[in-house]
Amino acid sequence: MELNLRISKKIIFFLVFIFFVMQSSYEVKAEVESYSVFAKIPLLGEVQVQSINTKLTIINNEFKYSYNVEPTKVVVFFDNKISSGYIKGQIINKEINQEVYLYRTKKDEFERTIKINYKDGGITDINIEPKYDKSKITNVTNEMIINSIDPVMMFYLITHYEHIKGCNFTLNVYDGKRRYDLILSDPIKNNKFFSCTITHKKIAGYKPEKIEKDEKYISDLRFRISHNGEYIFQEVSLRDNNLDLIIKKN
């Protein structure tokens, strides 16, 4: 009986030791966030039209950011498609090196999947099923998508203060059809909030008349300061299908 007890103690000690070794060899970060999307409607004001749920997981240098977007059930005039997917990559020298972007969307009986593979900042493969009809839009060239990022990576970056705190750069965004710039500028910072300006500029993948018109949409990005002195994403205003949208963190 005493021998068995000693053996049991040794096994327990060994398992505890293995557990702490495993814990110390893996740096794990998990973060779940939710957002609400509001449309500015004449006479009605801000009406919630979508909900966004995201999950960030970092294990050592492995990065994964998944998302799900669903329309609210009470809004009938807004696009009722459901979309989900993820981005994956490596964190090297505190920078995210994107490797995969996967996007799935469903509206009624129609479904589309977009997968983009990246390597060393460049796109190596694009798979879109079913393919877009690009006969009536301007062409997106290979040169235009060098060092571009997808819309989900864009959303992750602008909702995390540590990635945009300088607020003096341009994000080159490509979603498999459209290529556009988000130009960040004019930072304002005090002990209550941080904000900057976002200018949306169409590059290619739009109807020719929209490119010729060269209309730029200017919006705001805002962070609020938390009780521990950190800047936390508050809201950003964007435009989709001629609707002014505001995304707010819940």
- In angstroms, the Cα distances linking 240 to 29, 37, 49, 79, 229 are 32, 11, 12, 10, 33
- Domain hosting 171: range is 26-243
Residue 11 lies in a domain: no
For residue 182, being part of any structural domain is answered with: yes
Instruction: Report yes or no on 63 lying in a domain.
Output: yes
Q: Which of 41-45, 67-71, 158-162, 216-220 has the lowest mean pLDDT?
A: 41-45
Ramachandran area for residue 73 (φ above 0: left; ψ -120 to 50: alpha; else beta): alpha
In a domain, 175, yes or no: yes
Beta-carbon count within 10 A of 242 CB: 6
Tell me the DSSP string of 95-130. Answer: EEEEEEEEEEEEETTEEEEEEEEEETTEEEEEEEES
Distance CA 196, CA 169 (A): 11
Task: Specify if 5 maps to a domain.
Answer: no
pLDDT tens digits, 136-147:
999 999 999 999
Does any domain span residue 7?
no
The answer as to whether 19 is a domain residue is no
Q: In the chain, how many domains are there?
A: 1
Tell me the pLDDT tens digit for each residue of 56-114. Answer: 999 988 999 999 999 886 666 667 789 999 999 999 888 889 999 999 999 888 999 99
Q: Considering the entire predicted model, what is its pTM?
A: 0.84
Give a yes or no: residue 18 inside a domain.
Answer: no
